[in-house]
Structure 1
Amino acid sequence: MSEPSESVEPARRERDRDEVFVEFTRSVCPVCKVVVDAQVNIRDDRVYLRKRCREHGEFEALVYGDAQAYMNSARFNKPGTIPLTFQTEVAEGCPSDCGLCPEHKQHACLGIIEVNTACNLDCPVCFADSGHQPDGYSITLEQCARMLDTFVEAEGEPEVVMFSGGEPTIHKHILDFVDLAQQRPVKAVNLNTNGIRLATDRRFVQALGERNRPGKRVNIYLQFDGFEEATHHALRGKDLRERKRRALDNCAEAGLTVTLVAAVERGLNEHEIGDIIRFGVRHPAVRSVSLQPVTHSGRHVEFDPLNRMTNSDVIGRIAEQCPEWLRGDDFVPVPCCFPTCRSITYLLVDHKEDSTDVVPIPRLVDVDDYLDYVSNRVLPDQELRRALERLWSASAFPGTETTAESLETTAAEAECRACGIDLPEAARGLADKAFMIVVQDFQDPYTLNVRQLMKCCVEEITPDGRMIPFCAYNSVGYRERVRAEQSGVPVAGVVPNAAELREVVVDSPYGSKNAAPDAETSREGDGS
């Protein structure tokens, strides 16, 4: 008999992927805007969105630069609050039924009214593609009133409305629009501007200041990308540094609060983030800074979607460039929207003759514990939780009474909890001395994730009485359709089957069939 042959171990056939699959979702093709399937994956400690269009092939984009922070943010996902009314029906599903349709998961913390498409700049970076297009338009007083009424119907007493554009300050009725908002139960107006008119027209700035009074605040949301001439030419097409400074000084003289808003692009101005924060903290008009990775829709500079700036990258630059003031863990995700979209911190600032003392509020109060909706649903101090929910919200900005009350509540708790900590004098009279830093990454056609979009709480209000999530408006084709409807000029590149505008189901310009169930009580207990 022959000897039995030695057994041979079969070759290993399986091979591990180089990434971890996180979720299946939907997105859009960045070329044709057709809705496509997508997946979120983790690779090399970074989070990517991948999708494939039948016609235009595969796309992949970086959506978060820190995979652990992305996964940890899930505990900040606050239960949504439905609006008092919806404006559209569910027909094709998200993102084709905006809005808001009954499947949207959150009400509107911030409503945006774009008053025009014209602008006195032609920035190389402009998600709204503003300028001197043949398909431009400006809204009328009647349209603005209807848009505000849509917002009030949906929210009852909205915290803040933002007038934007184009460049809203060049609209002949912009002061009238502010008056219309203040005639309604809207607590605050944000004016989103490049600052050119604020630098050159002091009477206009004074008129805005005269509209800034208790219970009806006006805040300037000022485009402010950095201090280097190269930054201004790359992002705005011209050197605006001196005009930005004059605009800020004029606002300070008129008693207007200002938010500095920086569009941050990798390789262009990411190294200026710390200088922007330091400048803002020390300027008398500035009460907050908003740092926003560039939204790659409309007009934008050439970029690599696999190596773009994300929220975690911006927070990392802040910690690197302001180590004496801030750490990465000082920033807490905002729960009212999807928590990877926005992070916030507040600073207690005490100006002295030869120095500025800064203490971040998250070092005095366990903010993340109070905003943990997964593991800590029952907490002993519900008043503090509500205060923190109002502060960590897309509707919060310094100067409003709501924010002031929430800061005072938080300060009182901080003083109780901070035994042994020498609080700066800024802890008293906190509402006048607190400084807010926001890091906000808006989605674009490369990064759009329907899972995040469904909880968006920043809404574009359209002239025909809809409220469309901001990232859908810029990514799915809604902006182009509204522009075509308002101007009467067809917009190239709009694909009819990509995101059909659903029929608006309203009884009148000021009433909706789709009132939310229990609309009268749906705001109760909501802190956003």
Structure 2
Amino acid sequence: MTQTNSQSDRENMEIIRTTTSLCPECMEHVPAEIVVDPKTNWVMMYKTCKDHGEFKDKLSINSEEYKWQQRFTTEIGSTVNNSTKPETVSSGIKKIDKGCPYDCGLCSNHKSAPNICLIDVTNRCNLTCPICFANASAAGYVVEPTFDQIVQIMKHFRSMKPIPAVLLQLSGGEPTMRDDLPEIIRKGKELGFTELMVTTNGVRFAKSPELIRKCKDAGMNAIYLQFDATDAPEVWKKIRGVNLWPLKQKVIENCRKVGFFGIVLVPTVAKGINDNQIGNILDYARDNSDIISGIIFQPVSLTGRISFEELMDLRYTTSDLKKAINEHTGDAIGQFYPIATSAKMTQLLAWFDEMPTFSMTSHNDCGFCTIIIINDKNEFEAIENYFDITGIMKWSNKVWDMIQKREIPKPTGLLKGIDLSKFGVLYDKIGNFIDDMTSLGYRQIMKAYYFAGVARY
């Protein structure tokens, strides 16, 4: 965010919405406008502090897509009447004083409970990366909670009612620096976390397939692997200080060797340094999709005082990322969806399997997701080629809302026009549903009803 000395460039700009932001100088609440710059078609934020003047920053390079995100999130309605806010927690709900972001922590303003218990198990690291999200080792001394303290943190997150955290992410520093990492993972599994992830640079996993095996056997489901490029030594040196490409390949090889199939690549994207590697990373994930399940791109965060010209040289938004993905794949990926639009669907699917009904309710500007299909020719395809995603989301929301009201569906209206014989086992289940609906539990009724409806899409 940079300061501007004139408001003349805001004339004739379309206002998308207004919001509240922070002054980067005094950190006080200030009013802000999200607008479209007609000269560039960029979406910009302008905000004004009574003491420090006006500031502006870029949110998106594609105003039409940005506005679609706002409309789509509202249209889908995934966050409407969808509070999963914590009611109780072992340490108590934090009292509100000045409000967000000053009273950071679980307070009554939260609309959803935390899904992820993320613990920095150490600030030690075996790399000295020029770009580091965690700013590891900056303290100048070791900060490392004991095993018992980590267990206490886990229990705190699992104590939340009515919905506890279901995902455990162990980070740092470099979490594999701890020799008791498998024991920490095992304890997390015992406490009821359903997904256990380790965020790592891969140095120790590259050296020791046995460590991967121990963590896997303890319950590790996913490795979030730092992965900023493929075979580009100069890029690695700029971001990590050393060429890590051979090491990353070794991690992949070792995971394949021990039968671990849950790698998620996590590239840090820095404009002008490795934004030209996005296509290579996509191709690498495709070619190793037997053990790589996804990619989480993380554009570099920019903070502190900076001129507008410097900011524009460095700022890399999610819209820049989408553009790069589309250019590499020839627009084969399809639509990107705000994460929160899946909120009710994730709760519904978890409820069907008698799991905690977690939901991701992040703001629609904060991230996007999609599912990429790799066809028999090893080509990227859009999931929309196979499913009507918007239709499935709307149907999921409708069924979840029915469940919240304990409504019983009327099967005849839903099933009209559907040839159930095409759906195998589902046909038998729906048949039982029609013949003797009262013999099924409510969960089974709604599950059958839901998947019969999904067949339309």
TM-score calculated relative to the size of structure 1:
0.62
Map Cα deviations across residues 380-399 of structure 1 (whole Å, 9 max, x no partner). Answer: 9989xxxxxxxxxxxxxxxx
Listed as ranges, the matches of 1:346-495 within 5 Å are 346-350=371-375, 355-371=377-393, 378=398, 416=455
* Alpha carbons of structure 1 residues 136 and 325: separation in structure 2 relative to 1, 3 Å: same
- Segment drifting more, 238-247 vs 198-207: 198-207
CA distance in 2, matches of 1:52, 1:126: 31
Map Cα deviations across residues 398-437 of structure 1 (whole Å, 9 max, x no partner). Answer: xxxxxxxxxx99xx7899557xxxxxxxxxxxxxxxxxxx
CA distance in 1, matches of 2:97, 2:21: 17
2:225 corresponds in structure 1 to: 222
| Higher-RCO chain (CA-CA 8 Å, sequence separation at least 6) | 1
Listed as ranges, the matches of 1:59-98 within 5 Å are 59-74=55-70, 75-76=72-73, 78-79=78-79, 80-85=83-88, 87-98=93-104
- TM-superposed CA distance for 1:148, in Å, is 0.8
CA distance in 2, matches of 1:127, 1:36: 27
What is the aligned counterpart of 2:181 among 165, 170, 174? 174
CA distance in 2, matches of 1:281, 1:137: 38
Listed as ranges, the matches of 1:48-447 within 5 Å are 48-52=44-48, 58-74=54-70, 75-76=72-73, 78-79=78-79, 80-85=83-88, 87-131=93-137, 133-154=139-160, 156-212=163-219, 217-227=220-230, 228-256=232-260, 257-283=262-288, 284-297=290-303, 304-307=310-313, 308-323=315-330, 325-327=332-334, 329=335, 331-335=336-340, 336-350=361-375, 355-371=377-393, 378=398, 416=455
CA distance in 2, matches of 1:160, 1:377: 23
Give me the CA root mean square deviation.
Answer: 3.4
- TM-superposed CA distance for 1:369, in Å, is 3.8
2:408 corresponds in structure 1 to: none
CA distance in 2, matches of 1:253, 1:56: 58
* Alpha carbons of structure 1 residues 313 and 154: separation in structure 2 relative to 1, 3 Å: same
Amino acid corresponding to residue 32 of structure 2 in structure 1: A
Q: Secondary structure at the match of 1:348?
A: strand
CA distance in 2, matches of 1:56, 1:28: 11
CA distance in 1, matches of 2:400, 2:143: 52
Amino acid corresponding to residue 361 of structure 1 in structure 2: I
Amino acid corresponding to residue 341 of structure 1 in structure 2: C
CA distance in 1, matches of 2:337, 2:53: 37
- TM-superposed CA distance for 1:363, in Å, is 2.7
1:20 paired to 2:14: yes
Amino acid corresponding to residue 188 of structure 2 in structure 1: A
Amino acid corresponding to residue 66 of structure 1 in structure 2: N
CA distance in 1, matches of 2:187, 2:453: 39
Amino acid corresponding to residue 362 of structure 1 in structure 2: E
CA distance in 1, matches of 2:203, 2:121: 17
1:486 corresponds in structure 2 to: none
CA contact (8 A) 1:121 1:131 kept: no
* Alpha carbons of structure 1 residues 27 and 122: separation in structure 2 relative to 1, 3 Å: farther
CA distance in 2, matches of 1:277, 1:88: 42
Map Cα deviations across residues 288-321 of structure 1 (whole Å, 9 max, x no partner). Answer: 11112112259x9x99433511112111111110
CA contact (8 A) 2:43 2:61 kept: yes
CA contact (8 A) 1:365 1:417 kept: no
- Segment drifting more, 195-204 vs 45-54: 45-54
Q: Secondary structure at the match of 1:259?
A: strand
CA contact (8 A) 1:120 1:131 kept: no
Map Cα deviations across residues 108-156 of structure 1 (whole Å, 9 max, x no partner). Answer: 2222111122211121212221125325411111221121112112264
CA contact (8 A) 2:392 2:454 kept: no
How high is the sequence identity, in percent, across the aligned residues? 25
Unaligned segments of structure 1, at least 5 residues: 1-13, 384-407, 419-528
